[in-house]
Structure 1
Amino acid sequence: MSSVLDCSGPFAHRNPRLYVYFTTLYNARAYYPVLAIFFTDLGLTLERFVFLNLMWALAIFALEVPSGAMADTIGRKKLLVFASCIMVVEMLILLIAPKNGGALLFALCILNRVLSGASEAAASGADEAIAYDALPEEGREDAWDGVMSAAMRWRSVGFFITMILGGLLYDTAWLAPVGLHIPPEVSHRLPIAVVFVQAIACVFITLRLDETPYSHADLGQRCRSAFRLTLKTAKMAFTTRNIAVIIVGGLLIDSVARNFATITSEYYRLIQIPEWSFGLLGALSGAIGFFVPSLARYLNVRFSPLGVLGIAAGVTILSLSLLAPAWPWFGLLPAMSLMTMLGLVGFTVSRHLHASADSSQRATLLSVRGLAFNLGYGSFSLAFSMLLAAMRKTAGDDAFRAALLWQLPFVAVMIATFFIWARLTKPREIASAD
């Protein structure tokens, strides 16, 4: 981590250094440990909250790949500045959203999710690409492993700090013994206010980035080039066996783990964890994530990409089976284990896609990955929302626990089917893109 601060190694170049700062502030958000209960305490049902994740995914679907192609044709820096500005607006919406505001509240929450998806789409791919292409070509792959490892560790530290801060700010009951009382209607917005400040910092960071080479054709040519690049890259991604396996396998595991990550605060309530400790648990998860890059690098050197995904899939299914009983306190172990898979899968997929991409289409390929992952996440969130609604009719107040149980066989069959397909499909059976 010190190499980032002393500007040594790959961080002698400005863009990789600023990329680490940006990805830390952009991703380590103080409201994450209370995400689900923030929206439900505002007045939404859990089903509506999970439905909002679908709105987020639809925004990704519409903008992810086009934004990546535009980054490769009009400039990565412009897309990142745009993403940071949208982040400012989405946080402002949550700061002013009325509690128990009925249709207005739901509409504002949908707008927040759509803007969040648009911001994520603009940043996805462009951030890694602008850092990767700033590295010298000689030894670039090893240097990028170093950049990714440093970024993951910085994000872990960022999560450690913001998770503690977010949980303590949301539930200020711990201040009562010293005679301080902050009304819930104020304390519940404090984590959002922290992220609002982070968003402003992201704007200033992205403005300092050095632009990497891109097409300087006129607007019409840029649009046509972006469209052609999108189609070509999408075709290449899903007709080249090695890339398709990485993307599809990664999204299956990521969608399950990420859906659970968005509802962890509700799960913590279910297993009788006090709310003030949610941030501490998020910080613990971030501390565990600090060691994931070393593990991920070892596994990716020791095993094939499919082998690493197999390990991640096994841990995912085991974690889900231990989550379903919702044992008080013990349920924390499988919850932490499942969320750790996000880092392992993300490292594996990014490492192998970078090795497969040409510079001219790097951001676009990464955006194809982002599109696939977010569609998988949105689809799984929709399915989980429908499952919750169905369980509400049969299990009543125990619907959440029942939904956790019933998702297990579905996930197991889905992942098993993928690995059967991956093993039976030979590289020669899928033609490479032109």
Structure 2
Amino acid sequence: MKSVSNVWKLYGFRFFYSLIPAYVIERLYWEERGMTIQMVIYAEIIFAVTVLLFEVPSGILADRWGRKRLIVVSAALGVCEFFLLLFATSFWHFALVVFLAAIGMSASSGAENALLYDSLLLKKRERSYEKYYGRLNALEIVATMLAALSGSWLAVQFGFTFNYWLSFVAMWGAVFFAFWLKEPAVKTKTEESESMPLKGYVAAFVRLYKQHPNVIPVLTSGMVVGASVNFIDEFWQLYLDRLQIPILFFGMFSAALYFLKLPGNLLAYQLKKRVATPRLLLFIMSGIVFGLFIMAVSPNIYGLLAMGLVYLVAGMIEPLTSGYLQHRISSNVRATMGSVQSMGENAVIMLAGLGFGYWSSKGDIFGGYGFLAVLCGVFLMYYVWRQKAVRS
């Protein structure tokens, strides 16, 4: 029963980890303290490079040392992150924050999914992974919505800094639930996983690709879509600001965006029973390309509606791609392979960030989203070609 209790403890961890009212005014807070769009892009690149360096080592460490310990490290670094942000006044302060945040995200990215899957595996419920993963994401969205709705009002009433103090306190709640988790007694504790050399992980990935050739295009689609949605998450506040929408409505708009991700997370496991994951991803990416294009060329209500469309279809991407991977790997490399997936997405963020920053400097935020529309459109053509090659 201890392994099953991990599910609701992970719910608690994810809820407090996402109950961050600072995010709803984050870009404005950073801008107030001297961070331009280009500086934010540089910070994003620092974040992505750090993730690239730490993702796979942290995944290997989680498989050998224990997933719970890495999740605790992630939560503890979150506490440090918000404490530093309270006093950040220069680019290098923010650079240190994103560096710590990247290490924290790397520590939990593969470990959290691996702990969830193996906790279900011990009770023979692993086929329901997408359902529980979707619910985990749904709870994260609910917490984000609550933080956004309250955060915009609190920022107007008490100032931006107050939101960061509340976020600092919420992160301590994540630390509490992280310490309460139990390590599943699975193959990750065997001598095989503890003594596996680095080349063993490479061989495991090569073997996975040979046995399941669709893994690469499926995972890559999740990386590209995830990277594109990341830039909406990071800069929607500036998009609304350019449309002269008052800050008071930011929380309501943020909550509406995240609400649109709920159906996809909750229903993805049902949809994949009727439509194969690779085909579902084709529809998702088509919706992403269309939405980003409208956002770029229509700086008005149609652009906002298109942003909503992107969030609606993107809600399915994480349960589908994560489940597709988890069902095809063994427990002794589960966290490592999850980290490889996260590392790939951050590599795309780093590379796409260069184009996004350049075109944002040329055509403001609308130029940046136009670049993302082209990027996703090119990948969509590759994905269609790759699917035909796999079937032939």
Q: Same fold (TM over 0.5)?
A: yes
Counterpart among 179, 202, 206 of residue 174 in structure 2: 202
Residues 20-54 of structure 1, C-alpha deviations (whole Å, 9 max, x = no match): 11122223432222232221121111111122111
Question: 2 CA distance for matches of 1:62 and 1:49?
Answer: 20
Q: Following TM superposition, by how much is the alpha carbon of 1:63 offset from its aligned partner in structure 2, in angstroms?
A: 0.7
Residues 31, 166 of structure 1: 8 Å contact kept: yes
CA gap 1:71/1:403 in 2 versus in 1, 3 angstroms: closer
- % same residue: 20
Question: 2 CA distance for matches of 1:353 and 1:92?
Answer: 36
Partner of residue 419, structure 1: 384
Note the aligned Cα RMSD (angstroms). Answer: 2.4
Residue segments in structure 1 that go unaligned for 5+ positions in a row: 1-9, 99-104, 173-181, 392-397, 428-434
Counterpart among 220, 243, 246 of residue 248 in structure 1: 220
1:383 aligns with 2:355: yes
Q: Indicate the larger mover: 195-204 or 58-67.
A: 195-204
Secondary structure of 1:44's counterpart equals coil
Question: 2 CA distance for matches of 1:30 and 1:143?
Answer: 32
Once the two structures are superposed, the pairs formed by residues 164-183 of structure 1 within 5 Å of their partners are 164-172=149-157, 182=158
Alignment-mate amino acid for residue 18 of structure 2: N
1:37 aligns with 2:22: no
Count of aligned pairs between the two proteins: 389
Residues 146-188 of structure 1, C-alpha deviations (whole Å, 9 max, x = no match): 322321221221122011122222233xxxxxxxxx4xxxx11
Secondary structure of 2:297's counterpart equals coil
Max radius of gyration: which structure? 1
Once the two structures are superposed, the pairs formed by residues 108-187 of structure 1 within 5 Å of their partners are 108-137=93-122, 139-172=124-157, 182=158, 187=159
Once the two structures are superposed, the pairs formed by residues 353-432 of structure 1 within 5 Å of their partners are 353-389=325-361, 391=362, 398-425=363-390
Question: 2 CA distance for matches of 1:271 and 1:359?
Answer: 49
More helix by share: 2
TM-score in terms of structure 2 length: 0.92
Partner of residue 95, structure 1: 86
Question: 2 CA distance for matches of 1:106 and 1:321?
Answer: 32
Q: Following TM superposition, by how much is the alpha carbon of 1:360 offset from its aligned partner in structure 2, in angstroms?
A: 1.3
Secondary structure of 2:285's counterpart equals helix
Question: 2 CA distance for matches of 1:247 and 1:40?
Answer: 34
Question: 1 CA distance for matches of 2:344 and 2:18?
Answer: 19
Residues 152, 248 of structure 2: 8 Å contact kept: yes
Question: 1 CA distance for matches of 2:245 and 2:291?
Answer: 19
Residues 3, 182 of structure 2: 8 Å contact kept: no
TM-score in terms of structure 1 length: 0.83
Once the two structures are superposed, the pairs formed by residues 265-414 of structure 1 within 5 Å of their partners are 265-389=237-361, 391=362, 398-414=363-379
Alignment-mate amino acid for residue 88 of structure 1: V
Alignment-mate amino acid for residue 379 of structure 1: L
Residues 134, 268 of structure 2: 8 Å contact kept: no
Question: 2 CA distance for matches of 1:76 and 1:94?
Answer: 27
Question: 2 CA distance for matches of 1:79 and 1:354?
Answer: 19
Question: 2 CA distance for matches of 1:233 and 1:64?
Answer: 17
Question: 2 CA distance for matches of 1:324 and 1:229?
Answer: 45
